[in-house]
Every structure is written in structure tokens, then in C-alpha cells.
Amino acid sequence: MNIAVDAMGGDFAPEAVVDGVELASKELGDATVILIGDQAAINSLVEKKKYSFNRVEIMHTDESIGMHEHPTKAFSQKPNSSIGIGFRLIKEQKADAFCSAGNTGAMMVGSLFTLRTYGSIQRPPIAGFLPLKNGAYSLMLDIGANADCKPEVLVQFAELGSLYARFSLGIENPTVGLLNIGEEETKGTAVVQAAYQLLKSDDKISFIGNVEGRDLFDGKADVVVTEGFTGNVIFKMGESLYEYSHSKGINDPMINRMNYEVVGGSPIIGVKGNVIVAHGISSPLAIKNMILLAKRQVESGVNSKIAEAFGE
């Protein structure tokens, strides 16, 4: 297994990425990391910290996409950026996964235009792992890629999330809930109400109806469906809750798992390849956990199941 990692992505790259790869390399078994970035800068860090990498290859490029560059413009004008090369490695089947803490917009552009989506998938979501009181996780999607969604797109999120929860998280018959302001099917916006009716008649999922904000940490649903605007607000609020609790010396198992470092990244689901995006401020621990998440996702074979389900 080969996992490509963007060495130049993130606010603290390449140092945080190199440190994270060193941590991950100890737990990757026979998987190889292809570290894409400025070889001189990477080698300098390796020598300075006296790292002895296990199964790490460096692929040089001196081109990168900045965190604040326009995603589409930068991706098209910098084909040899670390992000551009990462996507080419997947497309050419030289890498089984690509991970980056860099420009999320550029990661979405690469996913859509280099890899493309399976079958009839209209808009691939970014999925987030929502910690539960019982120590497990539920899956929420979308958490930022698609701020506005049609009802049909929310239905696809439900089907994609259900497949991911089953094959990547090992949940045999995942339940699906639609995030709303009330349990009644007549509540919410016109889009949410229409999505409810479509989900109710979808025999590909186990739909349990609406779930409210107060239900999220109880695990009422294994998969929570919403548009990216709301999902992103919820996840960033969770991060701030962890930061506040940590600053006050509060040690709570569930709140601690709201720390973005614990899972490390979020998969873009529905594209022809395993793509994981991470927080721009990712620490070495977050980078390590992003890479390990990518390894587990590849091993799960979830993408082949998505391809089957959507007629690819």
C-alpha cells in the first residue's frame, strides 16, 4: 500500500508534516508513505531531527498551493504542485490514498476534476467523525464542501454515509438521521422537508427520521445528514468547546475527542480514490492520525462498494 502525503500543506508545513510522517511510519506496517514536497527542506528536517524513516519515499516538487490561493485557479496553474502530483499518483494507481492539510478548496477541485465521482454522484461530501457519549463515533456529512444542497444531493449523502459507516466503520446496519429543528417531518426548510420524503422511501438506507442538535452526542443515528454550512458550524463549535474545556483543565472523554487531532482528518467520499483532508493548523499528531485513517480506509475497500452502489 502506498499513501501519498502533501508535505507542503498546512500552516506549519513542512515541519509538522515531516514530524507526523515520522510518528505514523512506526505504525504503518508494510505501507509506504510517498512524501511530496521540497526535497531539500524535507531532508534538512530529517537530518536536523535525526529521523530514521521506515518505508518513506520523497517525491520532489518546489511548487505548492498556498492556503489562501483561489482553488480552481491555483490547481490549474500549478499542475506540479504537491497537491496536483498527489492526485496524479492516485489517478495513475501509483498511490492508494492521498492526504493533505493544505488548501481544502484545491483538494475538492482535484477530487472532482482529476479523480471525478463514481457514477451518478453529483457532489461529494466531506465527512466528519462526531464523538458520542458511549465512546463510539457517528458520521456527519457534509461538514463544509457543499454549503447549499438540493434534496437529491442530501439523499446521496445519506447513501454514501451509510456505505462508509458500514464498510469503513464496521457498523452492520447503520441508521440515518436528517438534521433538523424538530422531529416532525413538516419541520425545517423546504429543502429539508423534501429530502425527508425522499429519504423515507429510500430502501438503500435505514432512515429513522429527523434528529435534533440535542440528539447528536447520544448516537441516535449512526449517520447524520446535513448541508455543509450547518455541518461546518457544528464541527467548529465542537473544536472550540474542546479548546475551552482544555484551557480550564476539564478532562472529559467525549469532549477530548472533539479535538481535531484525535481522528486527524476527514474523507472526501464519493470520488474515485481515497482522499483525506486535514485541518490547516494540523499538528504532527493530527498528521499521524490522518495517515492512519487513510490506511484503514484503504484496507476497508469502501470505495469499491461505493462504485458498485452507484453504477461505476
Quote the pLDDT of residue 54: 80
Burial of 66 (0-12, 13-18, 19+ CB in 10 A): middle
Q: Of 65, 141, 157, which Cα lies nearest the Cα of 104?
A: 65
Q: Which three cell numbers stand for residue 143?
A: 461538514
Q: What is the mean pLDDT of residues 90-112?
A: 96
Q: Of 72, 138, 156, 61, which Cα lies nearest the Cα of 106?
A: 72
The whole-chain average pLDDT of the chain stands at 95
Return the bridge partners of 266, or none. Answer: 277
Quote the pLDDT of residue 312: 65
In the chain, the domains with their CATH numbers are 1-121+270-312 (3.40.718.10), 127-261 (3.40.718.10)
| Helix axes of 190-200 and 151-167: crossing angle, nearest 10 degrees | 50
Q: Using one digit for the tens of pLDDT, what is the confidence trace for 6-16?
A: 999 999 999 99
Q: Using one digit for the tens of pLDDT, what is the confidence trace for 269-302?
A: 999 999 999 999 999 999 999 999 999 999 999 9
Alpha-helical segments (H) within 15-63: 15-25, 39-49
Residue 5 falls in which region: left (phi positive, over 0), alpha (psi -120 to 50) or beta: beta
* Full strand arrangement of the beta sheet holding 206-211: 127-131, 137-141, 223-225, 175-179, 206-211
C-alpha pair distances (Å), 266 with each of 35, 42, 58, 87, 212: 19, 25, 24, 16, 23
Residue 179 CB neighbours (<10 A): 22
Using an 8 Å Cβ cutoff, are 239 and 259 in contact? yes
Quote the pLDDT of residue 140: 97
Q: What is the mean pLDDT of residues 176-188?
A: 95
Q: Cα separation of 295 and 2, whole Å?
A: 9
Alpha-helical segments (H) within the chain: 15-25, 39-49, 71-77, 82-91, 104-110, 151-167, 190-200, 228-247, 253-256, 284-300, 302-309
Using an 8 Å Cβ cutoff, are 15 and 278 in contact? no
Q: Using one digit for the tens of pLDDT, what is the confidence trace for 27-55?
A: 999 999 999 999 999 999 999 998 888 89
Q: Is the pTM of this model over 0.85?
A: yes
C-alpha pair distances (Å), 211 with each of 58, 153, 200: 46, 18, 14
3-class DSSP state of 126? strand
Burial of 148 (0-12, 13-18, 19+ CB in 10 A): exposed
Q: What is the mean pLDDT of residues 217-227?
A: 96
Quote the pLDDT of residue 311: 79
Q: Of 96, 32, 30, which Cα lies nearest the Cα of 59?
A: 32
Q: What is the dihedral of CA 86, 90, 91, 94, to 10 degrees?
A: 110
Using an 8 Å Cβ cutoff, are 188 and 165 in contact? no
pLDDT at residue 240 tops 80: yes
Q: Using one digit for the tens of pLDDT, what is the confidence trace for 107-158?
A: 999 999 999 999 999 999 999 999 999 999 999 999 999 999 999 999 999 9
